[in-house]
Chains A and B, each alone.
Chain A
Amino acid sequence: MSELMVKAEGVQKRFGRLEVLRGIDLEVRRGEVTCMLGPSGSGKSTFLRCINHLEKINAGRLSVDGELVGYRQSGAKLYELRENEIARKRAEIGMVFQHFNLFPHMTALENVTLAPIRVKGVPRSDARNRGQQLLQRVGLGDKLDTYPVALSGGQQQRVAIARALAMEPKLMLFDEPTSALDPELVGDVLDAMRQLARDGMTMIVVTHEMGFAREVADEAVFMDAGVVVESGPPADVLGSPRHERTRAFLSKVL
């Protein structure tokens, strides 16, 4: 058990000739909530996707729970991991997407139980019980057999959170979880995330919800143009930013 859940050193990512991440250094401690802020295109979402290897990094070192993401090190050499090894590691990291990405051909409960049954081999009845509990916990105990199309955006996002939690992840990644929601639906989703933070989940949240960051985050990270501009307790980063770029961004969103 490593004290650090995520450790990034000089992480770089290019798409063709476009440099999206230009050397990210970041540490996320176990049980902490880190909020990543910054203008769109600054690389926040890309960095999040690198953490569960949905994107391959081009340079630097990125590790989760003391193990490199996507590679195995032996001496000075790096070996690419096999696909099933990568899948096994992804199963331990939950991810919540901006556009929910629920499976539309399955009911809320089926969405939540699919991966535990198919990936972890949990018996069907156990998975259903656990799925019901999780959906009740996010306030959707009466929507078990509803298809996503008949749910509001906020309800869909809460199903997506329950779906990720069903795998009992050690780390949760949130990629702008409230950006696609109508304003009056944001509250319910943030409540579910707040609850999760209180339960001690390690979370990395890319968000534009400054109120949430100020209240829930242990660490706020401001990114711009592919680098971390500044980081620290949210009261400092949001309240008295040291950097000009942070100040400029905050004056626009607050």
Chain B
Amino acid sequence: MSASEPSDRRTGRPDEIKAVPVRRPGRWIAAAIVLIFAASFARTIITDTGTNKGFQWVWVGHYLFDSRVLHGVWTTIYLTFLSMVIGVVLGIVAAVMRLSPNPILSRASWLYIWFFRGTPLLVQVLFWYNIATLFPTISLGVPFGPAIVHEQANSLITPLAAGLLALGLNEGAYMSEIVRAGIISVDEGQTHAAQSLGMSRLQTMRLIVLPQAMRVIIPPTGNETISMLKNTSLLYVASFTELTYSVTQIYNVNYKVIPLLIVASIWYLVLTSILYVGQYFIERRYGRGFTRSERASMRARWLSFGGGKQRR
């Protein structure tokens, strides 16, 4: 009776549709298979019995907060942070130069990007670390004129300076392409509107174009930061005891290789997860005005898993 009645008699309004959802056995089977594999894998990793003694979780726990490991974690954090700051600043400068109408600026930027993207990062690190053999003394001053700073390269280029130069300059080359992609993604009409209001080129870039470009720039920059977190481990060649190098130093002595590699992995995962959270908030900040609402989407997907509700 109620099924054949299209509307509520009292209000006269149509009833909400209450239909039997389509059964989707395929989804349940696929999910079950994945869960079985995942459980089996988890058991292999976690249980320290039978054939799986290699993981030695006791030692993982023992070294997780070891002072040498924590020191390595801290070094990794500040190297990542400083290198990314250098990289982002250089990236913005190089991108703006690349888009400049001045052909010399644009070509200089191209050359920089070409060189630093085209050679391996490890080679660049080694190069900066050994710069003293190429230039025994370094002078800073007026080109072809008097020098203001005149210093032995070995004392000026410390391992930290070499590391930051290598990572920062390399990152700047990649970031500049990311920033450039962001800038050219902003509609030209925005620039015209800003100019017609009497804004200067610099104001237009800073107040109108870059804030909108950020939306495009942030996700790949998050990628770059995560890569950087792990690329800092290349600085072991410059005898930098960041996270990876500090655990290798420990296991070279006690041969607990696997547990210590797990310790390092756990820390890298923790740091990466923190970056995820940061990226979420930055994206939300710069996404203002671009979406009416997309916050509920993740939850909606989970809720609709078993039922007939269509995902959007």
List the interface of chain A (C-beta within 8 A of B).
49, 52, 54, 83-84, 87-95, 97, 99, 101-107, 114-115, 118-120, 147-150, 160, 163-164, 167
Contacts and interface: CB of A to CB of B under 8 A. Distances in A.
Contacts of A160: 193
A55 to B, nearest CB: 10
Contacts of B196: 52, 54, 90, 93-95, 164
B220 to A, nearest CB: 19
Q: Which of B187, B193, B286, B290 has the most CB of A within 10 A?
A: B193
Contacts of A90: 195-198
Given A101-B190, A119-B199, 11 more contacts: A52-B196, A95-B193, A97-B189, A103-B193, A103-B208, A104-B289, A105-B286, A114-B197, A119-B203, A120-B198, A167-B197
A101 B196 CA distance: 11
A105 B289 contact: yes
A92 B197 CA distance: 8
9 contacts: A49-B192, A87-B195, A97-B192, A101-B190, A103-B193, A103-B212, A105-B288, A115-B198, A149-B289
Nearest to B291: A149
A118 B289 CA distance: 21
A163 B194 CA distance: 11
A94 B196 CA distance: 7
A83 B211 contact: no
B207 interface: yes
B200 interface: yes
Nearest to B190: A101
A92 B201 CA distance: 17
Given A99-B189, A105-B288, A147-B288, A119 B198 contact: yes
B193 A101 contact: yes
Contact of B211 (A84, A87, A105, A150): A105
Contacts of A118: 199, 203, 207
A106 to B, nearest CB: 7
A103 B211 CA distance: 10
A15 B292 CA distance: 40
Contact of B292 (A87, A92, A104, A149): A149
Interface residues of B, number: 24
A180 B189 CA distance: 14
Nearest to A95: B196
B200 A54 contact: no
Contacts of B286: 105
A105 B212 contact: yes
Q: Which of A88, A102, A118 has the most CB of B within 10 A?
A: A118
Interface string B197-229: 111110100011001100000000000000000
The 6 closest A-B pairs by CB, nearest first: A91-B198, A101-B193, A115-B197, A147-B289, A95-B196, A101-B189
A125 B77 CA distance: 42
Contacts of A91: 197-198
Interface string B283-296: 00010111110000
Contacts of B292: 149-150
Contacts of B189: 97, 99, 101
B289 A106 contact: yes
A83 B290 contact: no
Contacts of A106: 289
A86 to B, nearest CB: 9
A104 B290 contact: yes
Nearest to B192: A54
Interface string B64-89: 00000000000000000000000000
B207 A114 contact: yes
B201 A83 contact: yes
A89 B187 CA distance: 24
